């Protein structure tokens, strides 16, 4: 099992059977293995055919099984109803996260899961989601993956919990009436990314490589480093040699080594994810760590039915079941 839990992928429905997709079947007629349950501790896995319906506009296939309850997956966001209880549940989950040290690990993991998924649901139910810029959608996906990472960690969950408390709370402000309906600094980060992309490769490497933790010398903030590189490169100059000092020399070598990796991995991310990564680096995040985390998040959210940065799929409610890797069931 790639994950320890599965989410019902049907739109909001009554107490009938829930169903979550486990994995596609490798056979010519397609289909997938689905976990079905009415109570979370009694899960039955079934091989089911695909629904087969497609959306009228773009021909996107429904990701559910044949004869499923409710609307098809491509119509799910429209079907997400406003639920007055949802915000209260988000607040309760954020409350647990904020006092993570007072709760056991399972309670914190559950709270992280609820806070992020319900926030994503609320954004979609209020039709804020589709108007968000791609970098803010990437930020939401990153939080889903971050919450998911709590499940696997053996170390303390406290620092992740406090990060999530702040970041999810910021997401929840997007649906307040006075909200500009976007997260701060997206435009600034997009402009920075544009300037970075126009730099000659050797400058881009030095600038991104300098955005790391554990330098001997002070780290120049990203916007200053980009401006510095822009001025010099527009005069046709290459990066100056490191000063005659072994710490400077060491920093430069590390900058070039990590910068080359960071630069390549950043360029391979979908654009919205690049902007979100630059936004985080500009706030002091380690560049390589930030880019590696984006890669990891993209892989994790696939488990939630989101492919890269597509905006329209994924579970819409929180009917959960524990799925154990039980050979008799699998």
Q: Which residues of this chain interact with Zn ion, rule CB under 5 A? A: 8, 10, 18, 51, 53, 62, 64, 72, 319
Helices (H), 200-286: 201-209, 222-234, 246-267, 271-282
248 or 303: CB nearest Zn ion: 303
* Least separation in angstroms between CB 144 and Zn ion: 18
* Least separation in angstroms between CB 16 and Zn ion: 8
Q: How far apart are CA 5 and CA 323, in angstroms?
A: 5
Q: How many CB atoms lie within 10 A of CB 198?
A: 13
Residues 6+ apart with CB under 8 A from 203: 229, 232, 233, 238, 239
119 or 317: CB nearest Zn ion: 317
53 or 151: CB nearest Zn ion: 53
* Least separation in angstroms between CB 242 and Zn ion: 59
Q: How many CB atoms lie within 10 A of CB 139?
A: 23
* Least separation in angstroms between CB 24 and Zn ion: 15
Strand order in the sheet with 43-48: 18-24, 32-37, 43-48
Residues 6+ apart with CB under 8 A from 286: 211, 212, 213
Q: How many CB atoms lie within 10 A of CB 152?
A: 10
* Least separation in angstroms between CB 306 and Zn ion: 18
Q: How many CB atoms lie within 10 A of CB 108?
A: 23
The answer to whether the CB of 286 falls within 8 A of the CB of 212 is: yes
Q: Using CA atoms of 18, 24, 30, 33 in order, give the dihedral in degrees to the nearest 10.
A: -40
55 or 195: CB nearest Zn ion: 55
50 or 122: CB nearest Zn ion: 50
* Least separation in angstroms between CB 311 and Zn ion: 18
167 or 312: CB nearest Zn ion: 312
50 or 255: CB nearest Zn ion: 50
* Least separation in angstroms between CB 73 and Zn ion: 6
């Amino acid at each position: 099992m790639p994950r320890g839990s599965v989410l019902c992928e049907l739109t909001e429905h009554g107490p009938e059977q829930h169903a979550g997709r486990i994995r596609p079947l490798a056979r010519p007629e397609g289909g997938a293995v689905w976990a079905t349950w009415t109570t979370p501790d009694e899960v039955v896995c079934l091989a089911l055919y695909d629904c087969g319906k497609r959306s009228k506009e773009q021909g996107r296939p429904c990701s559910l099984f044949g004869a499923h309850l409710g609307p098809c997956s491509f119509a799910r966001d429209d079907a997400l109803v406003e639920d007055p209880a949802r915000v209260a549940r988000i607040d309760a989950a954020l409350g647990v996260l904020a006092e993570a040290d007072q709760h056991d690990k399972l309670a914190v993991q559950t709270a992280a899961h609820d806070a992020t998924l319900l926030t994503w649901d609320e954004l979609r139910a209020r039709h804020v989601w589709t108007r968000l810029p791609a970098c803010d959608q990437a930020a939401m996906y990153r939080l889903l993956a971050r919450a998911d990472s709590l499940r696997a960690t053996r170390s303390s969950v406290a620092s992740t919990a406090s990060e999530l408390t702040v970041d999810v709370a910021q997401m929840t402000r997007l649906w307040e009436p006075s909200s500009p309906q976007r997260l701060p600094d997206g435009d600034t980060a997009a402009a920075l990314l544009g300037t970075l992309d126009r730099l000659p490769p050797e400058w881009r490497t030095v600038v991104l490589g300098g955005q790391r933790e554990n330098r001997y010398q002070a780290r120049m903030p990203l916007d200053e480093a980009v401006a510095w590189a822009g001025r010099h490169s527009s005069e046709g100059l290459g990066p100056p040699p490191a000063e005659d000092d072994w710490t400077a020399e060491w920093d430069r070598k590390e900058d070039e080594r990590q910068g080359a990796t960071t630069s390549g991995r950043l360029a391979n991310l979908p654009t919205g994810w690049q902007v979100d990564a630059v936004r985080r680096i500009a706030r002091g995040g380690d560049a390589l760590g930030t880019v590696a985390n984006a890669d990891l998040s993209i892989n994790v959210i696939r488990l939630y039915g989101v492919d890269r940065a597509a905006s329209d799929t994924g579970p819409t409610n929180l009917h959960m079941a524990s799925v154990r890797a039980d050979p008799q069931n699998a």
